[in-house]
Amino acid sequence: MSGILNMLIRKIFCLLFIIVLQSCYQKEINKGKENPFSISLGSFKTYEKAFQFKSRLDTVVRANLRLEYVSKKNYKLLYGKFHNSLSAGEKAYELYCDTLINDYDITRNGIKVLDEFINVPFIGNFLGKPSLYTYNIKNKNTELLWSQKDGKVISLNLSEAADHAFFSTAASAGQFGGLPFIKNVNLFLLHRIEDNIDQIDELGDGYQFYTYWNAPDSFYVNISFSDSNNPRIIYQRIQSYDLQGKRKSSSERSFDIIKQGFPVAPSRKPQLTSPNLNCQLRIVHNNDQSIFYLKNFLDKSEILISSINEKIKDIRWSSDGNYFFIVSEFKVRISKRIYESRNHIFIIDAANKKVKKILEGNRFENLLVRGKLVFFDELFNGTKRIVIYDYVNRKHFDYIELPGGCGLNTLNGN
């Protein structure tokens, strides 16, 4: 009887141990999902050396610093807990610019990973072929990321969290008989943290091809091609993918180009509400004039910000919601009958409700906001380049210029 009782007790103890172990394991998984990224300020062989280094840091940094034992003779000083590499990198770069820290890495579960804030991907020519590059904000250097012998990179679309990037390639593209054409289109997915590239689809040939994000987790591609029996009929295939590159949906629609014209790419919808949901932009159109009102939900106010007689091309916000950017297009008379398109970027301080700066140039497009910096494409002396502007301090930070041009999303329009 006692033997049976002892065996029963052992089974109950083992069951309880497994339940506790699974509970701890699940907590660690959830903890990793919630806060997997940190800012590493260095590794140290002893606790004393780590403590001495910590004591020399500013109190602002020490308040969010923790010391972790990784292994024998390996202690790490880690700052903060972040949901992704982008937000960790933004905070790290802010501390670095304020000279509160001298150097840092972004880590995930103690392992160094790509800093997705300071590393910005773009398209540039390599040996005459559009390829993938990356620009480092911290050291202002560019580096070749990916190139293919038999394919040109024609588009690049970075996810909202900057952890994935879809890019497409084509064997050739141009115009024939007044119509565009594109040959042998392929779609790839760059997993930035894993530093891994997967080819996820072969899209074939077509007349027109464009890509866009419809939501933070939904990426779309549109490719147009003709009916083999009736050349006036154009089919447009629309396919969507999730963040892992798996196809979510596919549909087709047809156009009679004689009656309906050639299908055009959709315009980007301006972002009117700030990311922090504190402000909203209201636009009133009066003939050719656009009047901008900024509504503040916190103090329940609405104020006139600006009015322009120009076409609105895009509106973007900084991630903290304190600034927004209006891209507009206007015409400049070159001669009696010739006009040239020009662009403005209005940089507006939403917190203080005023226009801080107006930039003017040619073919401004593809805005990308990184902390206190805004990236955008510009056509300069006939070649496409990327401008990086410090909108808080109102000064140019850097230019990305490569032989043959470069752009954030595409090299079209050179």
pTM for the predicted model, two decimal places: 0.86
Q: Summarize the confidence of residues 183-201 as an average pLDDT.
A: 93
The gap between the terminal CA atoms of the chain, to the nearest Å, is 89
**152 near 170, Cβ under 8 Å?**
yes
* Predicted local distance difference test score (pLDDT) of residue 7: 55
> pLDDT-derived band of residue 19, with 50, 70 and 90 as boundaries?
very low
> pLDDT-derived band of residue 399, with 50, 70 and 90 as boundaries?
very high
**174 near 207, Cβ under 8 Å?**
no
Judged by average pLDDT, the poorest of 227-231, 281-285, 373-377, 395-399 is 227-231
Q: Distance between CA 332 and CA 336 in Å, rounded?
A: 11
Residue-wise pLDDT tens digits, 354-380: 999 999 999 999 999 999 999 999 999
Percent of the chain with pLDDT over 70: 90
* Predicted local distance difference test score (pLDDT) of residue 17: 42
Residue-wise pLDDT tens digits, 325-360: 999 999 988 887 888 899 999 999 999 999 999 999
Q: Record the tokens describing residue 310, joined without a space.
A: 């120009």
* Predicted local distance difference test score (pLDDT) of residue 355: 95
Strand residues in 163-322 grouped as ranges (E): 164-170, 172-176, 179-191, 196-206, 208-215, 218-226, 233-241, 247-256, 279-286, 289-296, 301-308, 311-317
Q: Summarize the confidence of residues 258-278 as an average pLDDT.
A: 85
**235 near 225, Cβ under 8 Å?**
yes
Q: Distance between CA 8 and CA 6 in Å, rounded?
A: 5
Q: Summarize the confidence of residues 120-126 as an average pLDDT.
A: 96
* Predicted local distance difference test score (pLDDT) of residue 413: 54
* Predicted local distance difference test score (pLDDT) of residue 32: 40
**208 near 183, Cβ under 8 Å?**
no
Q: Summarize the confidence of residues 109-121 as an average pLDDT.
A: 93
Classified as helix, coil or strand, 20 is: helix
Instruction: Please provide the average confidence, as pLDDT, over all residues in the chain.
Output: 88
Identity of the amino acid at 338: I
Q: pLDDT at residue 23 above 70?
A: no
Residue-wise pLDDT tens digits, 124-162: 999 989 999 999 999 999 999 999 988 899 999 999 999
> pLDDT-derived band of residue 10, with 50, 70 and 90 as boundaries?
low
**131 near 150, Cβ under 8 Å?**
no
Q: Distance between CA 166 and CA 209 in Å, rounded?
A: 14
What stretch of H or E contains 406?
A: strand 406-407
> pLDDT-derived band of residue 104, with 50, 70 and 90 as boundaries?
very high
Q: pLDDT at residue 21 above 50?
A: no
Q: Record the tokens describing residue 385, joined without a space.
A: 């380049």
Q: Distance between CA 126 and CA 120 in Å, rounded?
A: 17
* Predicted local distance difference test score (pLDDT) of residue 338: 87
Q: How many other C-beta atoms lie within 10 A of the C-beta of residue 250? A: 10
> pLDDT-derived band of residue 229, with 50, 70 and 90 as boundaries?
confident
Q: How many other C-beta atoms lie within 10 A of the C-beta of residue 68? A: 14
Q: Summarize the confidence of residues 285-307 as an average pLDDT.
A: 92
Q: Distance between CA 11 and CA 8 in Å, rounded?
A: 5
Q: pLDDT at residue 25 above 90?
A: no
Q: Distance between CA 387 and CA 396 in Å, rounded?
A: 8
**95 near 102, Cβ under 8 Å?**
no
